[in-house]
Amino acid sequence: MSGQRASTAAASLFLFLCRHCCCCLPRRSRCCCSCCCLSRGEMEQARRSRQIDASIAHERRATRRLVKVLLLGAGESGKSTFLKQMRIIHGGDFQAPALREFRSAVRANALGGVRALVEARERLCLPWSESRSQAVAARFLHELDAVLEPRICRQGDAAVSGREPGSGEICGAACDSADGDDAEGMALATTQDAFSRLVPAMQQLWRDRGIQDTWDRRREFQAESLKFFLDNLERISEPLYTPSRQDILLARRATKGIVEHEFVIRGVPFRMVDVGGQRSERHKWFQCFEGVTSILFLASCSEFDQALAEDGVTNRLRESMAVFDTIVNNRFFAGVSVVLFLNKTDLLLEKIATVSIAESFPEFRGDPRCPGDVQEFLVRSFRAKRRDSTKPLFHHFTTAIDTENIKVVFNAVRDTIIQNNIQQLLLN
């Protein structure tokens, strides 16, 4: 590397001498200085050196103009769904390879979800409404296990957790953290032949009252988008099935590693970085902290009565508040704007009609069935985590699976981010 730099520097020096020596004079005024004449190879090297310098300068200017947005939050908060919305709104349609992965993820969500319901029904001691359902369930689990690798986890809590495909992994929601062999096993289960053989059993089980009663108690395990897929089993089992945008937004699986996407929005380049929110993934966050312009922190506000999949004990919303406390008070982000997205508002409004937030948060004061009172309490609880109350905290209630909602909210957030960084964008 040092030899190459020396060679480039020498070529640049030759070019400088050539421009300022007798070679540039009329023929009769020239002298015969050997250093004034560059060989063809030296001239080509000098040209390449100029191109490299110009490219580096251009990249430096582009990097200074780049708006780097970090998506943070606990697991299952909706970060990857938000990123998928950004791809839909600003990045165009998904290409064939990504669609194939989404197809596998959708089918895996259905398979893992039925397994989770069957196992949860047994744990909850709920009776079958049809006598043959017990045999159908046993056969379904046996056939699924025959396709999957024996190492696939059988934990119902993790069975329907998941996040965005499109980053190289093809394992869906049957296991929260699958290695390469497990991913291969789930891919086999979602192929046309294997999945089609399992569909009749899934339909029979989904119709059983015992499984429906289990679904009604879904807050005791993770099964967020399952109903949509099970209601559409016939469609997603078709040989030519291509996932719709709604399928893509609802497909779940845990983000492993770091996922980045870049968009140009109104002439301003944005880079959005999504990092897994599970406890096992958070040690990777620090790798993304350099050059952050803004943080979008997502918290699932509907999960006030649910426990973490990781330990089955910790309240999910309190976990989000604890993670938010760590981020918003980190000295590394002293000059970084933080925007709070209280996500899954649609599920929150649905839940508070039957579940009181006061049961999980005794400090709540107000009407637990009033959306305004509940939302005010949530905003106040997150704001209270800030040690520096003078630092502005913007917040929005969002529904990440609603494209129009995210489009409106992000337009407001984008303008705030650009306004806060206007000098940097204009100077570069």
> Catalytic positions, please?
76, 81, 252, 274, 278
Is residue 271 packed enough to be buried (19+ CB in 10 Å), middle (13-18) or exposed (0-12)? Answer: middle
Strand 268-275, strand 337-343: pairing: unpaired
Tally of residues, the chain: 428
Helix ranges (H only) for 125-207 are 133-147, 156-159, 180-189, 192-207
Contact present, 72 and 323 (Cβ < 8 Å):
yes
CA distances from 364 to 217, 248, 381 (A): 23, 36, 10
β partners of residue 307: 315
Angstrom distance (rounded) from CA 158 to CA 179: 14
Residue carrying the six token digits 């009604």: 216
Distance of CA 161 to the CA centre of its chain: 13
262 φ, ψ to 5°?
A: -115, 140
Contact present, 70 and 296 (Cβ < 8 Å):
yes
β partners of residue 258: 275
CA distances from 145 to 118, 148, 183, 244, 369 (A): 14, 5, 14, 28, 43
Angstrom distance (rounded) from CA 377 to CA 220: 24
CA distances from 319 to 77, 80, 284, 305 (A): 11, 18, 18, 12
Phi-psi region of 260 (alpha: psi -120 to 50; beta: other; left: phi over 0): beta
Distance of CA 81 to the CA centre of its chain: 6
Angle formed by the axes of helices 371-383 and 316-328, to 10°? 40
